[in-house]
């Protein structure tokens, strides 16, 4: 967070957040940014809570009526922290950055309120000292990145399971021209090769590698995997199929079939792209099937080189985000990673659109 001391800085008024905030600058302590009040549970270990309150802890944590003995009702907590977020946003000038140093449950709940997820169990609680970025445009909020903790060099707690790190390919010539290539081929641009090199030099340790068959994904994988490390090609890691719109820009697709374009991108109907292509929902289902198979076959941390549109579709599926609401998540940046951990409780989102190696 070095160099951000000019940002509007607020913290929870608890000691651990005030101390963390002091490493950035002089922050304003506000009680509204406090963690969920656990009441009688405060200071207890999870195993002690399960033993003393088996009837309460058997419920899904985070439901609206959930309330520990003497603590805060979760629905009230959600209103409190979203109100704190909105109040901070109202204080910001156009183009200004604000930083809130707060708690894992607060961040997770604010993210849930933005994406419309009443059930937050698909997301891990953010790591200590991680960064989650929300971008604002008018009345719209976008969860730009989730749980960026790569600066901690892996020194973070994670649940057990297979970690699938979905990595979007580097920038391509088609990206520069804003062309829709799902199944078509486009080579990495000079910037895309630089991005892939930076990714390879960032020091990620992987136990296995998988890639879309597209050359842009395979070339990005080649910048990370050594010659002795095999990259498994998985057909279902390809991008969303754009049908008759393959290779067109958005403006060209609209001119080709303005009615279909309007139904999809203005009315929010999730129809096959270009008449013969894929829907957003189908692409998410396809990547989920490929991910489930990879998680069953591999262990440890797996680098999965794929594409931005299909990654967003899969993460949206896990979070229950419908196609018309997809803009609450951006398409991941070139070479950004989004990590899903497949453990005993099923797939859970560890991070989204993290690209620390790009330096921006």
Q: Based on the domain organization, do 194 and 107 belong to the same domain?
A: no
- Residue 42 has which token pair? 């405060």
pTM for the structure as a whole: 0.93
CATH number at residue 97: 3.40.50.1240
Strand partners, 33: none
Percent of the chain with pLDDT over 90: 77
Mean pLDDT along residues 46-64: 72
- Tell me if 351 is assigned to some domain: yes
Q: What is the 3-state secondary structure (H, E, C) of 184-234?
A: CCCCECHHHHHHHHHHHHCCCCCCEEEECCCHHHHHHHHCCCCCCCCEEEC
Count of residues in the chain: 360
- What whole-number distance in Å separates Cα of residue 58 and Cα of residue 351? 27
Q: Based on the domain organization, do 133 and 263 belong to the same domain?
A: no
Mean pLDDT along residues 197-219: 93
Residue-wise pLDDT for 279-300, tens only, equals 999 999 999 999 999 999 999 9
Mean pLDDT along residues 146-157: 85
Predicted pLDDT at 229 = 87
Three-state DSSP class for residue 83: helix
Q: Based on the domain organization, do 159 and 116 belong to the same domain?
A: no
Q: Based on the domain organization, do 250 and 290 belong to the same domain?
A: yes
pLDDT of 5 strictly over 70: no
Mean pLDDT of the chain: 92
Q: Based on the domain organization, do 115 and 185 belong to the same domain?
A: no
Q: Based on the domain organization, do 146 and 101 belong to the same domain?
A: yes
Residue with the bigger pLDDT between 120 and 127: it is: 127
- Tell me if 2 is assigned to some domain: no
Q: Based on the domain organization, do 234 and 133 belong to the same domain?
A: no
Residue-wise pLDDT for 20-46, tens only, equals 999 999 899 999 999 999 998 899 998
pLDDT tier at 359, thresholds 50, 70, 90: confident
Predicted pLDDT at 159 = 80
- The residues carrying an active-site annotation are 169, 239
Q: Which domain holds residue 168?
A: 153-358
> Of 103, 111, 109, whose CA–CA distance to 127 is shortest?
103
Q: Based on the domain organization, do 84 and 211 belong to the same domain?
A: no
- Tell me if 305 is assigned to some domain: yes
- Tell me if 37 is assigned to some domain: yes
Predicted pLDDT at 216 = 97
- Residue 295 has which token pair? 């998680």
Q: Which of 120, 150, 180 is the last residue of a domain?
A: 150
């Amino acid at each position: 967070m070095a160099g951000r001391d000019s940002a509007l800085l607020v913290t929870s008024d608890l000691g651990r957040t005030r101390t963390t905030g002091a490493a950035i600058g002089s922050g304003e302590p506000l009680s509204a940014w406090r963690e969920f009040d656990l009441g009688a549970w405060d200071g207890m270990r999870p195993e002690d809570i399960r033993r003393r309150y088996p009837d309460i802890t058997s419920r899904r944590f985070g439901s609206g009526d959930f309330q520990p003995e003497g603590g805060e009702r979760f629905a009230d907590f959600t209103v409190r922290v979203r109100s704190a977020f909105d109040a901070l946003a109202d204080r910001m000038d156009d183009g200004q950055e604000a930083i809130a140093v707060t708690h894992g449950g607060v961040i997770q709940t604010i993210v849930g309120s933005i994406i419309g997820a009443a059930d937050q169990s698909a997301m891990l609680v953010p790591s200590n000292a991680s960064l989650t970025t929300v971008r604002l445009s008018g009345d719209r909020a976008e969860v730009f990145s989730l749980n960026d903790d790569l600066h901690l060099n892996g020194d973070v707690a994670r649940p057990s399971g297979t970690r699938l790190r979905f990595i979007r390919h580097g920038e391509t010539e088609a990206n520069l021209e804003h062309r829709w290539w799902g199944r078509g081929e486009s080579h990495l641009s000079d910037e895309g090769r630089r991005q892939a090199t930076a990714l390879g030099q960032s020091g990620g340790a992987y136990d296995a590698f998988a890639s879309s068959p597209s050359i842009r994904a395979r070339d990005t994988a080649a910048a990370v995997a050594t010659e002795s490390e095999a990259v498994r090609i998985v057909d279902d890691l390809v991008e969303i199929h754009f049908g008759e719109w393959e290779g067109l820009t958005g403006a060209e697709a609209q001119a080709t079939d303005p009615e279909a374009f309007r139904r999809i991108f203005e009315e929010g109907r999730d129809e096959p792209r270009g008449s013969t292509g894929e829907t957003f929902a189908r692409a998410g289902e396809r990547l989920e099937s490929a991910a489930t198979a990879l998680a069953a076959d591999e262990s440890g941390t797996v680098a999965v080189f794929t594409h931005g549109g299909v990654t967003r579709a899969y993460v949206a599926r896990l979070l229950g985000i419908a196609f018309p609401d997809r803009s609450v998540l951006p398409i991941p940046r070139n070479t950004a990673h989004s990590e899903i951990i497949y453990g005993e409780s099923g797939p859970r989102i560890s991070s989204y659109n993290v690209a620390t190696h790009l330096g921006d």
